[in-house]
């Protein structure tokens, strides 16, 4: 279906009214305090610079010390972290922007050395089949969560949402993508459980839905969202039937009337994935990714994965997606919506060496159009 909708139009996503359909994708940039994981002033400047986007989704923020694997990332499991985030949120709001926290647990994608000697957790005792990029170590076999421990993790997510609400965030997005804990439960390559949390798509979706419901108890469903990557291979992930999984999960999400679901298409991250010759490629599993999603999900869709402006506009015009999130383009173009609207040239220079370093270099020093 073609329409006259453009990326520059406002849009209602649940209880959130976006001034345009450009969204800052959640991006780990590692600028918080290393030891306390408290957001700081350089993070406040970075997010505030991007207030012209219809919505900002923050970097993934961990819900416990068992998820502290991205050094210098902002956490959300203490009052001090919430106060640090509040300074960020208040500054974005002063510029008229909307900002949503992405909440996260790494699950098995951690090394024991990163967790102070503790074993990482997962739905099943299956290790990632390559070395950690952070430490160079082999990933350990994770601890298989008991049902009681699963309930405890759900409550950790809820407590994180409470802190996020206290910080003033406009909503909360659950990170269910890229091979982290929620994704590990969803997909049958990493979830071999035989209890109520494993086996069928219904059981594998249970943990994700329980966390969504817990977050919504704090924010309401209209301010709660989910990000998933059903065909992604990052962190040694695989599902034998992603469409079958989504055919159960997405109608369940439709019942909840979430603000949106952000779908990450297979793409750049898979360049570092393990290749298994006996497995179908992501493109073979879901060849027309977003349009397959559109048929399965009635709710609001945010499309993501290195989209060109032209493809993003096409997805919005055809009403395949209600909005599109941008990663790299939002890094080196803090004023991306204004550049596109006014026909100004996009900044194509991206310093990849500073994506995960500390301080302002490669973070807050990308120019606005009027500074070039």
Q: Which residues contact 177 (CB under 8 A, 6 or more apart)?
A: 183, 227, 228, 229, 232, 264
d(CA 11, CA 34): 37
d(CA 160, CA 154): 10
Q: What is the CB neighbour count within 10 angstroms for residue 341?
A: 15
Residue 180 appears among annotated catalytic residues: yes
Provide the b/e sequence for 174-209 (b: ≥16 CB within 10 Å).
bbbbbbbbbbbbbbbbbbebeeebbeebebbbbbbb
Q: Which residues contact 278 (CB under 8 A, 6 or more apart)?
A: none
d(CA 12, CA 322): 9
**22: closest CA among 365, 346, 307, 319?**
307
Which of these is catalytic: 46, 77, 180, 238?
A: 180
- Where in the sequence numbering do the catalytic residues fall? 180
């Amino acid at each position: 279906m073609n329409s006259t909708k453009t990326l520059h139009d406002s849009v209602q996503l649940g209880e959130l009214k976006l001034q345009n359909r450009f969204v800052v994708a959640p991006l780990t940039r590692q600028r918080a305090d290393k030891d306390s994981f408290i957001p700081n002033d350089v993070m406040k400047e970075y997010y505030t610079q991007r207030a012209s986007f219809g919505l900002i989704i923050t970097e993934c923020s961990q819900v416990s010390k068992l998820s502290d694997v991205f050094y210098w990332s902002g956490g959300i499991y203490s009052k001090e972290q919430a106060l640090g985030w509040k300074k960020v949120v208040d500054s974005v709001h002063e510029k008229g922007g909307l900002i949503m926290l992405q909440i996260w647990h790494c699950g098995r994608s951690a090394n024991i050395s990163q967790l102070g000697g503790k074993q990482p957790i997962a739905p099943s005792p299956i290790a990632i089949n390559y070395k950690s990029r952070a430490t160079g170590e082999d990933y350990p076999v994770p601890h298989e969560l008991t049902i009681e421990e699963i309930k405890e993790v759900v409550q950790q997510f809820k407590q994180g949402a409470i802190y996020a609400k206290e910080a003033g965030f406009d909503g909360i997005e659950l990170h269910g993508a890229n091979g982290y804990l929620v994704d590990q439960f969803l997909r049958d390559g990493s979830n071999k459980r035989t209890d109520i949390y494993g086996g069928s798509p219904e059981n594998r979706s249970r943990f994700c839905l329980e966390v969504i419901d817990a977050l919504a108890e704090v924010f309401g469903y209209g301010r709660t969202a989910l990000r998933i990557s059903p065909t992604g291979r990052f962190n040694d992930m695989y599902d034998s039937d992603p469409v079958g999984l989504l055919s159960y999960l997405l109608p369940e999400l439709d019942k909840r009337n979430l603000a949106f679901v952000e779908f990450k298409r297979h793409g750049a991250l898979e360049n570092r994935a393990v290749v298994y010759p006996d497995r179908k490629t992501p493109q073979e599993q879901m060849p027309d990714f977003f349009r397959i999603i559109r048929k399965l999900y009635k709710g609001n869709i945010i499309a993501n994965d290195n989209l060109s402006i032209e493809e993003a506009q096409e997805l919005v015009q055809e009403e395949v997606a209600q909005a599109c999130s941008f990663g790299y383009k939002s890094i080196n173009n803090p004023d991306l919506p204004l550049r596109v609207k006014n026909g100004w040239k996009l900044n194509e220079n991206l310093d990849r060496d500073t994506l995960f370093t500390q301080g302002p270099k490669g973070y807050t020093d990308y120019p606005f159009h009027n500074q070039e």
